[in-house]
Amino acid sequence: MSTISEGKSVAGLHEATQKYVLRRPFIPLTVYEFPSSSDRGPEKRRGSKMPSHHDELGRDNMDDYHDKPIFEFVTVTRHPSATTRSATSRKVRTQAMRDYLRKQNRQAISGVVEVLQSTNPEEPEQYKGKFKLDTWTHKSKKKAIVAKRERLLSADVVPSNEHQDAGEDLTTSIVNHEVRQPPRISNSVVDLISDSLDPFDTLAIKLGPSSERLLVHYNTEYTMNSIAINAEGDFFSYVRTDPALFHSILYLVAMHSDLKNGIADSPVCLYHGSEAFRLINERLGDPNPVLSDATIAAVAMFVNKENLNGKYELSDVHKQGLELMIHLRGGVHVLQGVFRRIVTWSDLCYATIWSCQPSFPRLFPRSYQYHHLPSEDASPALLSPCHLFGTSSPIVPIFDILRALSQSLSTANAAIFTRVEASNTIYNLEYDLLLLNEPLSFLLEPSDCTSSFESLPLRTAIHIYLWLAIRELPLTSELVHRLAQRLQESLVGKLPGWWTSTREGTLWMLWILFIGGIAALRRGERLWFVRKIVGVCKTLDVCDKNALRKSLRLVLWQEEFCGEKLELLWLDMVHYWDIEESHRKFL
């Protein structure tokens, strides 16, 4: 053969070999048969002659041909790694070149071009193999799934054509504005089904990948007000059938997730908020609007979301609209179950922010059921606030029921309350606490300190504890930060001297500062509370963590909530002690 034809043959062989290796890099079982004994006879080896420019290559390969078998089994039993893929490909290319040289050698001797017989099966049964072997491709299924989710996400963010004009500006800002995305959380539920949490379209709205993650977050991590509001546990049965309510709860869940991840107003959060706005406005714009429980609850969740997010002026606007809707319906008592609790929670939350009484009347009669539960540390007697404020002070029953509620909801004790009883107790407790904002709420003497400045630190600490330990609000909420600031401001001036004049009052002050230290996440405020706690510990001769725990148990303690917080706060206290000691030695 000529040099040009040989070059083309080699190039064609190389190209075919590379395509084979790239397109089928995973070969479960490839067998190259040995040539027949007649092909390997000594007379043919002696008569073999390669073209001149392949002499050296031919001699080397023919030496290998004499020393070892021309072909070997190439067996791959699993997906090849980077190392095994390279070795396997090299072996395939080597044996392909040997096969090519053998054919060229035979053709040069005999002058006959070797043609392989067709191996296509003639009978249909011959197409069936005994084993079914997996194959792999360069394009992984994971990349295809990710690409599909990105397309769905883009479709999820853009509103439909029906309301394009209403939400165009907001949606455009959502898409174009650069927002730091939270770290992606691997949800096993989404990973297992990979395509959709609602494959049969049973929900009121279509969910994209981001909304599906919010739904997983709602079912796994969203515990805020689980008992206080969703006492019957049937809230989602209403959500799944009402689009406005569905978008509103996802708006609130997205805010909860954003607070956990340290970001503000993620795109998916803004999307569900805008969709809920649109649906509510469509209902209110109807000539004969029907103010259903679900629509009113959706508006109330807007009030709650803006309160928790620190946008108090916006929550005030929503609250005014909510009050008008409640008035048109005939009062808050006409609402049912979970919807009524959502509305009353927005009212209590609003009253806390503005230090006023609730605007809606009390739902249940003011009747506390006292439960004399054993303390987790039963050796010392619990401190009573009546020693500080008198037996007629309204703080006394509030604190007693808070102790009973904390222990009944603790996993260490059997449930004393049912979920509905616990929900009603939480409502009554917070309602009475907010009634103390008005000096004329109770006809008591000024010496009882009903609403005096002396009781303000304890009332604020009780409210923080109620929100964090019972209602389970996220620590990073602006609402919690506002209460922490209010507590710090109430402890500035001559007031601490009133509390620390006795040892019992000092123990109460220690608990108040402990709650403030938990709620204060910002550096300056937390350092202020840590410094105050260290000072009170020195006064009480509390020198170790166990002694501090024992002192706090005398006031109020729930291990599930307080135990972990004490560990973190103690580390800050030790660090402050070290800095203070180093500074003293330096001076």
Residues 206 and 92 in one domain: no
In angstroms, the CA 344 to CA 323 distance is 11
Residues 336 and 234 in one domain: yes
Domain annotation covers residue 144: no
3-state secondary structure 128-189: CCCCCCCCCCCCCHHHHHHHHHHHHHHHHHCCCHHHHHHHHHHHHHHHHCCCCCCCCCCCHH
Domain annotation covers residue 209: yes
The residue range of the domain holding 209 is 156-353
Residues 537 and 393 in one domain: yes
Residues 484 and 541 in one domain: yes
Phi, psi of 377, deg, nearest 5: -120, 90
- The first and second tokens of residue 262, run together, are 């340290």
> What's residue 447's pLDDT?
35
In angstroms, the CA 322 to CA 301 distance is 10
Asked whether the beta carbons of 508 and 555 are under 8 A apart, the reply is yes
> What's residue 78's pLDDT?
63
- The first and second tokens of residue 332, run together, are 């808050």
In angstroms, the CA 462 to CA 480 distance is 12
Domain annotation covers residue 91: yes
> What's residue 153's pLDDT?
54
- The first and second tokens of residue 559, run together, are 């291990």
Residues 221 and 293 in one domain: yes
Q: How many domains does the chain have?
A: 3
Residues 160 and 117 in one domain: no
* Closest to 32 measured CA to CA, from 84, 86, 82, 93: 93
Domain annotation covers residue 84: yes
Q: What angle do CA 349, 355, 360 make, to 5 degrees?
A: 55
Domain annotation covers residue 214: yes
Asked whether the beta carbons of 337 and 300 are under 8 A apart, the reply is no
> What's residue 438's pLDDT?
66
Q: What angle do CA 289, 295, 299 make, to 5 degrees?
A: 115
The DSSP-derived string for 40-61 is G-HHHHHH----GGGHHHHHHH
In angstroms, the CA 144 to CA 132 distance is 24
> What's residue 346's pLDDT?
95
Domain annotation covers residue 521: yes
> What's residue 163's pLDDT?
41
Residues 520 and 397 in one domain: yes
pLDDT averaged per 10 residues in sequence order, the chain, 587 residues: 44 45 38 40 40 44 50 63 76 82 78 64 60 51 60 49 39 33 39 53 82 91 92 89 94 94 90 94 87 94 92 92 94 93 95 92 69 44 86 90 88 68 92 79 38 79 96 94 94 77 93 96 92 94 94 94 94 89 74
Last residue of a domain, one of 121, 140, 170: 121
Residues 73 and 190 in one domain: no
Residues 331 and 447 in one domain: no
Which segments within 9-107 are labelled E, that is strand? 29-30, 74-75
Residues 348 and 393 in one domain: no
pTM: 0.65
Domain annotation covers residue 208: yes
In angstroms, the CA 370 to CA 397 distance is 9
Helix (H) / strand (E) containing 430: helix 419-435
CB atoms within 10 A of CB 391: 10
Last residue of a domain, one of 103, 121, 139: 121
Residues 326 and 409 in one domain: no
* Closest to 306 measured CA to CA, from 293, 320, 295, 292: 320
Domain annotation covers residue 75: yes
Residues 467 and 568 in one domain: yes
Render the burial of 332-368: b for 16+ CB within 10 Å, e for the rest. beebebbbbbbbbbbbbbbbbbeeeebebeebeeeee
